[in-house]
A and B are shown apart, each in its own frame.
Chain A
Amino acid sequence: MNVPAAWYLVLAAVLFGIGAFGFLTRRSAIIMFMCVELMLNAVNLTFVTFARTLSDVGGQVSVFFVMVVAAAEVTVGLGIVVAVFRRRSSTSVDELTEMKG
């Protein structure tokens, strides 16, 4: 018998937490994107776990769509990082303060 779904769900919660902590504390925009990827993967893991628990392929199809959106998001996000770097010669998010009130 396979391990219970709760184990994988707790693992996904821990992965999401690590990703969220990195997103909140790291300064480099590129590493923040990597932490977003970690959080997306945590959610994918819960989707697959529920797909197994409920014996429903809909969860796996959701993961498929999440991956497509993640690919598009990374493409546009890294394009923005390149555009910012060209102007500021840095990807540190602390230096982007023009819109500070």
Chain B
Amino acid sequence: MIAVAYAWPSIAVFVVSSLLIVAGAIGVLVFKNPVHAALSLILSLFGVALAFLAQQADFLAAVEIIVYAGAIVVLFLFVIMFLGEGSSDTSAVEPLVGQRTLAGIAVSLVIAGVVFLMATSHWVTGVPSVSTGGTPLATGSDNIHQIGAAVYTTYLVAFEVTAALLIIGVIGAVNLARKERPRVGEEQ
């Protein structure tokens, strides 16, 4: 029995989080109404946050709920309701014959390939703590300290680039969603 070697709370947490994740993801797949799909996505994201918590990523679990469930899904819901689109998903008709079957085959092949690679190879080298100089992964507020220190030292350039990316994203979104008005010189 392999399950005996592990503490039962961690197994229980894994089972609950995987049920949440898979149920939510399948809900996104099957619900016709986009609002229901968005709510189902929140369920899946809560499962991911739980899996983060179980793996000592406390800060990311909080960010997952605040940013994803709190901001991104709300943005989805806002756009769905702004467009007033009920269930215009025409997935009942299949313009490409056998698209679903082909997609299912391709996806199962990819999953099976990844799991097979994982089972047969040793690509986890086991070299620990490259970016933190040998300190082990901390939990709680120390986890936030570690992430903050890494972001502002090792990954500073990437951090600055994401700041620029966010500005570009905001300006681009405003520019795209704005109604087109005739320019000053072209008014009739």
Contacts and interface: CB of A to CB of B under 8 A. Distances in A.
SS class of chain A's interface: helix, strand, loop or mixed?
A: helix
B41 A21 contact: no
Nearest to A9: B118
B88 interface: yes
B11 to A, nearest CB: 6
Nearest to A7: B14
B28 A82 contact: no
B132 A57 contact: yes
Contacts of B60: 44, 48, 60, 63-64, 67
Given A74-B72, A79-B176, A22 B28 contact: yes
Contacts of A11: 14, 17-18, 21-22, 51
A6 interface: yes
A70 B72 contact: yes
A57 B147 contact: yes
Interface residues of A, number: 74
A57 B75 contact: no
Interface string B37-51: 110010011001001
Given A37-B41, A64-B63, A71-B71, A25 B99 contact: yes
Task: Specify which of B71, B111, B126 lies most central, judged by the most chain A CB atoms within 10 Å of its CB.
Answer: B111
Given A28-B34, A51-B55, A76-B173, 15 more contacts: A3-B11, A18-B22, A18-B29, A26-B29, A30-B34, A30-B85, A38-B28, A51-B56, A54-B129, A60-B60, A61-B151, A64-B147, A71-B166, A85-B83, A91-B85
Kindly list the 9 A-B residue pairs having the minimum CB-CB distance in the complex, ordered from nearest: A72-B169, A79-B176, A24-B103, A79-B173, A58-B131, A18-B25, A28-B89, A17-B111, A55-B128
21 contacts: A11-B17, A11-B21, A11-B22, A13-B111, A15-B25, A17-B108, A19-B28, A33-B76, A38-B41, A44-B48, A44-B60, A45-B51, A50-B124, A51-B56, A52-B55, A54-B129, A57-B137, A74-B76, A82-B83, A92-B90, A94-B90
Interface of B: 5-7, 10-11, 14, 17-18, 21-22, 25-26, 28-29, 34, 37-38, 41, 44-45, 48, 51-52, 54-57, 59-60, 63-64, 67-68, 71-72, 75-76, 79-80, 82-83, 85, 88-91, 95, 99-100, 103-104, 106-108, 110-111, 114-115, 118-119, 124, 126-132, 136-137, 143, 146-147, 150-151, 154-155, 158-159, 162, 165-166, 168-170, 172-177, 179
